[in-house]
Chains A and B, each alone.
Chain A
Amino acid sequence: MTENSAGPGVPEDGRGTPLVSLRGVNKHFGALHVLQDIDLDIAQGEVVVLIGPSGSGKSTLCRTINRLETIDSGTIEVDGRPLPAEGRELARLRAQVGMVFQSFNLFAHKTVLQNVVLAQVKVGRVPKAEAEKTARELLERVGVGAQADKFPAQLSGGQQQRVAIARALAMNPKVMLFDEPTSALDPEMVNEVLEVMRSLAARGMTMVVVTHEMGFARSAANRVLFMADGRIVEQNTPEAFFTAPRSDRAKDFLSKILHH
């Protein structure tokens, strides 16, 4: 498949410019070539799931999109604008790209409410009262409204991750990046987080999700990207990818995660 078409499963709506666009992106960690000539377009409202073996570069790819990782060559554009270099401009862009981490990373010294308010006030210059209102609405929406005045350590993993999603949403991002959002959770809490992510997808949020949750990929993703050794080896609709993977790497990988 050519990387330039938005890929199967993506509505060809003729809106033209993709929301996120990577061209010829390369990145090294020392001698390790973690990202190799990555080309990727993500359309407005698209949900892309990234899967692949450990160390294939999924997290790194995800983190280049808000420049938590710098790249060695190539270009990355968000909403038609190249990622700015370090500084005020970059900070502004980061506020438009929400990120949810595997380990939640809620601010441990702030209450749940303060976690969601802080960046709105300090980065977005939103008046405090308004920011709190937004925060309470979002916390309510992800089902942790009752926990607003607790500290993160007092919450279960699933609750913490939902707060983290609310915190990212509070900045009104154009795209959300999720790096294995459910991998650190006890099994019984995985679904409450996936449920929130599904409803986000249903509301039309553009999402890049690194996950091994096949159920989520099938039900919410428009497209699955399979990565191995720093390359996007294969991409397809979830249905086609899971039932009929084309590359040997993908077949091998799927057989390992589906039967064990």
Chain B
Amino acid sequence: MGILFEKDNFSLFVRGFVGTIELSALSALFALLLGIMLAAFRVSPVPVLRAFGTAWVTVFRNTPLTLLFFVVTFMLPRLDVHISSFTAAVAALSVYTGSFVCEVLRAGINTVPLGQAEAARSLGMGFGQTLGLVVLPQAGRAVIAPLGSVFIALPRNSAVAGAFNVFELFSVQKTWSEDSYPIFASFFWLALAYLAIGFSISSVLSLLERRMAVAR
């Protein structure tokens, strides 16, 4: 277990840890924004937007994440789009996770009785106000737990980026095994790190859930 404290392993580990957090946090942010937008599309009265939302979700929920990484890493440069490996990873993760966020939000929106939106519209609220002020806040509670599952999966999924030139936790493992450290020890520290991240996310979410339970 002592490998963490040999040579400059500790700083390597910290770099990986920070890499995973940066990657996950940025992707989570974009996935959330994207998911809200896609969910709004999917419940909007405009057929073109609905079709777009449906197509997006169908394509990206059913594409293996690794394939998406291949696309952003190898296809984009061919189309003369040159972005850093990190940006590419954030793009792949956001696009992928966003489609899951969208579906969770849409399911949550469907738990809100139709009469709520009708009342909002009858008072003169537009589509955005109806969704933002009345429907989404009420979908919130139903959405927190499943949204939690999506976001807890994100740091784990981000490990794929390690295979595409992004330095994150899993790259630490690669380095260590190249340096032929015992595989058990390196896995132990990695597992601990992922566990810490996952635990933090679920703590924040259950706090949020409790806060929302009070607010009604």
Contacts and interface: CB of A to CB of B under 8 A. Distances in A.
Interface of A: 66, 68, 86-88, 91-99, 101, 103, 105-109, 118-119, 122-124, 151, 153, 164, 167-168, 171
Contacts of B137: 109
B216 A151 contact: yes
A91 B118 contact: no
Contact of B215 (A93, A105, A109): A109
Given A101-B115, A105-B116, A123-B123, 19 more contacts: A87-B126, A88-B126, A91-B125, A92-B124, A94-B123, A99-B119, A101-B119, A103-B115, A105-B119, A107-B116, A107-B134, A109-B215, A119-B124, A122-B129, A123-B124, A124-B124, A167-B119, A168-B123, A171-B123
A109 B216 contact: yes
B211 interface: no
Nearest to A92: B124
Contacts of A92: 124
A98 B126 CA distance: 15
Contacts of A153: 216
Given A105-B116, A108-B216, A109-B216, A68 B123 contact: no
Contacts of A164: 119
Contacts of A99: 119, 122
A66 B125 contact: no
A108 B138 contact: yes
B47 to A, nearest CB: 12
A92 B121 CA distance: 10
A94 B124 contact: yes
Contacts of B134: 107
Contacts of B118: 68, 101, 105
A171 B122 CA distance: 10
A167 B45 contact: no
A168 B124 CA distance: 10
B138 A171 contact: no
A122 B115 CA distance: 19
Contacts, number: 70
B119 A95 contact: no
Q: Which of B120, B121, B123 has the most CB of A within 10 A?
A: B123
Interface in B92-149: 113, 115-116, 118-126, 129, 133-134, 137-138
Contacts of A66: 122
A93 to B, nearest CB: 8
16 contacts: A66-B122, A68-B118, A91-B124, A95-B124, A97-B122, A98-B122, A101-B118, A101-B119, A106-B119, A107-B116, A108-B116, A118-B133, A119-B125, A122-B129, A122-B133, A168-B123
Contacts of A107: 116, 119-120, 134, 138
Contacts of A167: 119, 123
A122 B126 CA distance: 10
Contacts of B216: 108-109, 151, 153
A153 B138 CA distance: 14
Contacts of A97: 122
A95 B115 contact: no
B129 to A, nearest CB: 6
Contacts of B133: 118, 122
Closest 10 CB pairs of A and B: A95-B124, A119-B123, A105-B119, A105-B115, A99-B122, A123-B124, A94-B124, A91-B124, A91-B126, A109-B138
Contacts of A106: 119
A153 B124 CA distance: 24
Nearest to B132: A122
Contacts of A87: 126
A115 to B, nearest CB: 9
A84 to B, nearest CB: 12
Nearest to A86: B45
Contacts of A118: 123, 133
A122 B125 contact: yes
A121 to B, nearest CB: 10
A180 B163 CA distance: 63
A207 to B, nearest CB: 15
